[in-house]
């Protein structure tokens, strides 16, 4: 392994460990040169390698930010951008169904409190007609269910789908008649997870995804 690869590996470890968070800027060049004891050229080559891998992104005027938490997620994000919505939905169904069942089995009181909080805040967002906030909270709820599964590979696989999910929900918001927000509060799923009812959790996800499939077909004519 040459020096550039060594530095790139060290930087990747900082990202995967959470020391460098997704969306945050990495430290300045001089600080990193001192940290890794390398020249500017070596550092820039390492950064370019991680940009190419999809872990980092360089924005003019903003510096370099962390784009993805791991190489698997970066690769999946590139693939998801080229994939049809219905195919993404099939993958999302498989992941969320398994996550819901695992969450029902492994959920903690802290997990339940987080899910309840997102539902309550989502209800408030609907009452205030704050649709942007509602979208954000709804995605947080889905992600919290996946996190409650305690399966790290499942979590890593699900994360790249979030951007496409966000985009799709925004499209639904623009539909006429208006999207039925009360159906998006996922109270039945919370009840199933709280009661550790794996079958009910899986059934809820099946039914929910079938509704989304119909909406996608209506929107895209696929």
Instruction: Say yes or no: 62 and 91 in one domain.
Output: no
CA dist 146 and 219 (Å) reads: 27
Task: Tell me which residue of 80, 86, 83, 82 sits closest to 218, measured CA to CA.
Answer: 86
Chain segment 97-140, per-residue pLDDT in tens: 999 999 999 999 999 999 999 999 998 988 888 877 888 888 89
Instruction: Say yes or no: 102 and 204 in one domain.
Output: yes
Which of 34, 68, 102 is at the close of a domain? 68
Band of the pLDDT at 15, cuts 50, 70, 90? confident
* Structure confidence at residue 178 (pLDDT): 47
Instruction: Say yes or no: 60 and 95 in one domain.
Output: no
Which residues on adjacent β-strands are paired with residue 65?
A: 25, 57
pLDDT over threshold 90, residue 1: no
Chain segment 59-109, per-residue pLDDT in tens: 777 789 888 776 655 555 555 454 566 777 788 888 999 999 999 999 999
Residue range(s) defining the domain that contains residue 60: 3-68
Rounded to whole angstroms, what are the CA distances from 201 to 88, 116, 147? 20, 16, 15
* Total H helices, total E strands in the chain: 11, 2
Chain segment 141-161, per-residue pLDDT in tens: 999 999 999 998 898 888 777
Instruction: Say yes or no: 61 and 100 in one domain.
Output: no
Instruction: Say yes or no: 143 and 117 in one domain.
Output: yes
| CATH code of the domain containing 20 | 1.10.10.10
Query: E strands of the chain, at which residues?
Result: 56-59, 63-66
Contact 49, 87 (CB under 8 A): no
Which residues on adjacent β-strands are paired with residue 57?
A: 65
Which of 68, 85, 119 is at the close of a domain? 68
Q: Which two tokens stand for residue 32?
A: 């990193």
Is this model's pTM higher than 0.85 or not? no
* Structure confidence at residue 214 (pLDDT): 80
Place of tokens 């119909």: 214
**Looking at residue 62, what DSSP letter applies?**
T
Chain segment 161-215, per-residue pLDDT in tens: 776 666 666 655 554 444 555 556 799 999 999 999 999 999 999 998 888 788 7
Instruction: Say yes or no: 77 and 48 in one domain.
Output: no
Which of 68, 91, 124 is at the close of a domain? 68
Which residues on adjacent β-strands are paired with residue 63?
A: 59
* Structure confidence at residue 32 (pLDDT): 92
Q: What percent of the chain clears pLDDT 70, i.e. is strictly above it?
A: 80
Instruction: Say yes or no: 56 and 77 in one domain.
Output: no
* Structure confidence at residue 176 (pLDDT): 42
């Amino acid at each position: 392994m040459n020096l550039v690869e060594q530095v790139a590996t060290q930087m990747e470890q900082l990202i995967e460990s959470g020391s460098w968070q997704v969306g945050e800027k990495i430290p300045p060049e001089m600080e990193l040169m001192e940290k890794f004891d390398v020249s500017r050229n070596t550092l820039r080559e390492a950064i370019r390698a991680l940009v190419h891998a999809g872990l980092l992104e360089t924005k003019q005027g903003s510096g370099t930010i962390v784009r993805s938490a791991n190489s698997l997620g970066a690769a999946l994000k590139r693939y998801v951008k080229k994939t049809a919505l219905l195919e993404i939905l099939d993958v999302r169904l498989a992941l969320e169904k398994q996550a819901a069942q695992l969450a029902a089995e492994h959920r903690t009181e802290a997990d339940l409190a987080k899910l309840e909080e997102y539902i309550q805040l989502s209800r408030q967002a609907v009452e205030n007609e704050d649709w942007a906030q509602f979208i954000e909270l709804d995605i947080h709820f889905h992600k919290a269910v996946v996190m409650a599964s305690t399966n790290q590979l499942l979590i890593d696989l699900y994360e790249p789908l979030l951007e496409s999910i966000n985009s799709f929900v925004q499209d639904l918001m623009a539909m006429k008649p208006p999207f039925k927000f009360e159906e998006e509060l996922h109270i039945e799923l919370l009840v199933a997870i709280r009661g550790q009812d794996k079958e009910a959790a899986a059934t809820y996800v099946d039914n929910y995804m079938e509704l989304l499939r119909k909406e996608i077909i209506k929107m895209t004519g696929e």
